[in-house]
Amino acid sequence: MIVPKSNRHALLALLGFVALCGAWLLTIDPGEHFTTDVAELLPADERDPEARLALSLVRERQGRVVLVALDAPAGTPTAALSTAARAHTDTLLASHAFVAAHPLADQSWQHALGALLHKRRFDLLLPGWLEQQRKAYVAEATNEPFPTWLAARATADLDAHLASPTGAATSDLVASDPLLLLVTLSGQTAPLAPAPGTSPDRVLIWAETRDGPLTEAGQQPVFDALAAAATAARAHVPDLTARFTGVARFAAAAKASTLGDITRLNTLALACVLFITVLFLRRLHALLHLLPVVFIATLGAAAVTTLIFPRVHVLVFVLGSLLSGVAVDYTFQLVLARRENEPYAVRLRRLAIPLLGGAGTTFAGFLALTVSELPLVRQLGVYVAAGIVVGLVATLLYFSLFPRLDLAPRRLTLRPSLPSRLRTPLLLALTALAIFGLTRLRWHDDLRSLEYPSPALRAEDAALHASFGQADTGATLITRGSTYAEARTRWQHLADSVPAGGPVTSIASLLPSPDVYAAATAPASREQLAAFISAFRAATAAAGFEPDAFDHFHRDFTAYLSAPSPTYETLLRDTLDALPGPLALLAHSDADGVWFLSTVPRAIDVPAAAEGTLSLSGIEGLNHLFARYRAATSRLSLAGILALVVISCFLHGPRLGLRTAALPLLATGLAFGVLALRGEAFGLFHLLGALLGVCLADDYAHFAHVDDPAHPQGRTAIRLSGLTTAASFAVLMTSAIPAVSALGATVALIVVLALVFVETDLFSLHPHA
């Protein structure tokens, strides 16, 4: 067979494009380029500080925490369970997937905190104590020198403490801490790590993974290590049950479920498209010609999207599965509109305006989304816009290779047409219904609608957190600053301004504020403290203390006074870096600044005076962001619709152009109205569905212009396009991801309504009208 030269160029162009796109996609690392992380649906440079901090919490050490509960059968000897727990933690640490693993019962990190505070007690705790004593000294207005007064007061406080009920329990500590700097802290440090409930048959393990939960290394290797650890533990207690929870588990489950959804939806959509096509076409083997076009459109869309975005969310591909429905539209319009003995070039010229009009408006609509600040919307915009262009060009080039291809449409003579006199009243009635429905429209923006629901995992997660003493009541606050000094100062404003009854628990309470630290380390203060130490020795001797009772304290205090004080930033950085176990998660510093976590026992509104403090209420707390993204997407969608109207008017003139644009707009308005009247709450993905629906419905309006009654295959093309698209999106309605389901319902309804409008020629778009 001799292939014409122009066809050779088309073939080469198609093969070259496939080769280029294929080569590019084969070179990229799926683990690096694709993500299932809900957090990555938000911009990395999100300007909302709460969102930025919430995301950093997941990405930083907080997200790497894994909580494990080992449950033994009732009556298991304590020693056996302890050995099993030790085997579990040893296996985790030996796996390299974990950097820390502590059975909570051993309290080793609490002791480590105590040792840390004791070692640095003069740097951390003396400044606050000194500040309090100074205030008391000023209030007393005595003529006694401050060091002597302070020594007498410290001795009296010490005597009172030893006579208190807790005095007997702290004798060992008091020898090195007669100023009671640490003793008075016990009430503050205990709530920092909530006490787990005790059960003789259960061991709770707190562990930290080496890699983040959203990376490959932070998932499967972690699960493997946990499985190996459970096996090691069962060597000592055979019927041991091991449960665990962590962000990694949710992330892995979401990834597996989403990938399963992609496969299922795409397969089902393709099956629906083929089934409907079989109903309309007789030459079934010719349907194989659909596959290359869909394949090239999808390949091109994926290549362009991954070329532009370094990381693409897999949800884009779930939503992008609609391309299989859209890409075949052009095939149907182009191939079914074939007329006997009409050259391919002439057919192209005849269909140029509807093809360009349909594809152009869809392209423009989705192109508008590419300026969205939401990565998912941007990526979806690029994916669909690229897919539309590639799909159209691929269709034109591919079918130039088969100019005589005949899909043999079945003859369907049904051509319903609404009497002209009914069109205007019906239009008015439908418009009124749409407007009425739109007045009932209710927005509900929920970031969780993007997640694959996993109620069993959530229930287990809640149960495990409860076992660890982590109640879901109360509020978590985060106080940030550019430096340690700023963050600590802001935290003080928070602590001073929370309502009564809402004590703030934070590691920051153990750290001196910058001004208090500066006062305590000033040369004048140091001189007074040097004088105090002699006076204290005399005062304690006079009060009946043994001469050598506080040798340890005197030695340490003298060393403290003779060494230079660290700078405030150095002190806090070194202290917080050395925090052990779960306490290390209560503060964080990086190039962007510093933050402290705080908790209050009940939900509060952050006081206005607490600048730099935000309330974190989990992922749900970011819903306001979603509302902002939706509002921004609304504006972009309106811009896209305006472009659609302008393109229609440009192609068809103002009257026909406006009628053409009115069809998709009424279909969309009516679909929204119907869904609103059904009580459906709308979100961002209904809006994206509406934009897509407008573009698709606009395609059919354009194709209606060339629907010649003398050539009924044109109507068949519209019907086939509409029904295959509606089926593709109806398939999306079955997705377990609420956002995908919402988008599917919206588009399917719009397309069905648009098809009805075209069939009844409600807008008088057909040539015979």
Q: Which residues share a beta bridge with 243?
A: 69
- Residue 166 within binding range of another protein, rule CB under 8 A: yes
**Is the CB of residue 496 less than 8 Å from the CB of residue 479?**
no
Pick the binder of another protein from 187, 419, 564, 679 (CB under 8 A).
Answer: 187
Residues 136 and 153: beta-carbon distance below 8 Å: yes
Compute the least distance from the CB of residue 545 to another protein, in Å. Answer: 6
Nearer to another protein, 145 or 469 (CB): 469
Helix (H, G, I), strand (E, B) or coil at 473: coil
Q: What is the dihedral of CA 242, 246, 251, 253, to 10 degrees?
A: 20
Stretch that binds another protein, among 65-73, 183-191, 365-373, 481-489 (CB under 8 A): 183-191
Structure token digits, residue 262: 């992609």
Min dist CB 595 to another protein, Å, is: 28
424 touching another protein, by CB under 8 A: no
Interface with another protein, residue 164, by CB under 8 A: yes
Q: How far is the CB of 164 from another protein (least distance, A)?
A: 6
Q: Which of 1, 26, 139, 163 binds another protein (CB under 8 A)?
A: 163
Q: Which is nearer to another protein, 6 or 198 (CB)?
A: 198
Q: Which is nearer to another protein, 78 or 439 (by Cβ)?
A: 78
> Does 501 participate in binding another protein (rule CB under 8 A)?
no
* Among the residue ranges 134-142, 169-177, 577-585, 691-699, the one whose residues contact another protein (CB under 8 A): 169-177
Q: Of these, 171, 341, 473, 562, which contacts another protein (CB under 8 A)?
A: 171
Complex with another protein: residue 107 or 370, whichever CB lies closer: 107
Nearest CB to another protein, comparing residues 171 and 341 = 171
Q: How far apart are CB 160 and another protein at their closest, in Å? A: 8
Output the DSSP codes for 29-80: -HHHHEE--GGGGS-TT-S-HHHHHHHHHHHSGGGGEEEEEEEPPTT--HHH
| Torsion angle defined by CA atoms of residues 350, 356, 361 and 364, in that order, rounded to the nearest 10 degrees | -170
Residue from 28, 162, 616, 627 in contact with another protein (CB under 8 A): 162
Closest to another protein by CB, 171 vs 413, is 171
Give the position of tokens 């440009």. Answer: 650
Among residues 2, 26, 143, 165, which is the contact residue for another protein, using CB under 8 A?
165
**Helix pair 146-162, 523-542: axis angle to 10 deg:** 50
Minimum CB distance to another protein smaller for 40 or for 177: 177
| Separation of alpha carbons 227 and 139, rounded Å | 63
| The one among 55, 101, 174, 384 contacting another protein by CB under 8 A | 174
Q: According to CB under 8 A, which one of 48, 131, 159, 201 is a site residue for another protein? A: 159
Answer for the pair 372, 709: CB distance below 8 angstroms, yes or no. Answer: no
**In residues, how long is the chain?**
769
Q: What are phi and psi of 125, to 5 degrees?
A: -105, -30
Q: Does 764 bind another protein (CB under 8 A)?
A: no
Q: Give, as ranges, the residues between 73 and 132 that touch another protein (CB under 8 A).
A: 105, 107, 110
| Smallest separation (angstroms) from another protein to the CB of 743 | 52
Select the span of 95-103, 187-195, 380-388, 617-625 touching another protein (CB under 8 A).
Answer: 187-195
Q: How far is the CB of 510 from another protein (least distance, A)?
A: 17
* One residue of 32, 546, 592, 620 binding another protein per CB under 8 A: 546
540-544 — which CB contacts under 8 Å span 24+ positions? 540/155, 540/158, 540/178, 542/155, 543/155, 543/158, 543/159
Find residue 587's DSSP bridge partners.
596
Given a contact cutoff of 8 angstroms between Cβ atoms, the answer to whether 242 and 69 are in contact is yes
In this structure, the number of other CB atoms found within 10 A of the CB of residue 438 comes to 14
DSSP element (H, E) containing 614? strand 613-616
Binding site for another protein (CB under 8 A): 105, 107, 110, 159-160, 162-169, 171, 174-175, 186-187, 190, 195, 198, 544-546, 549-550
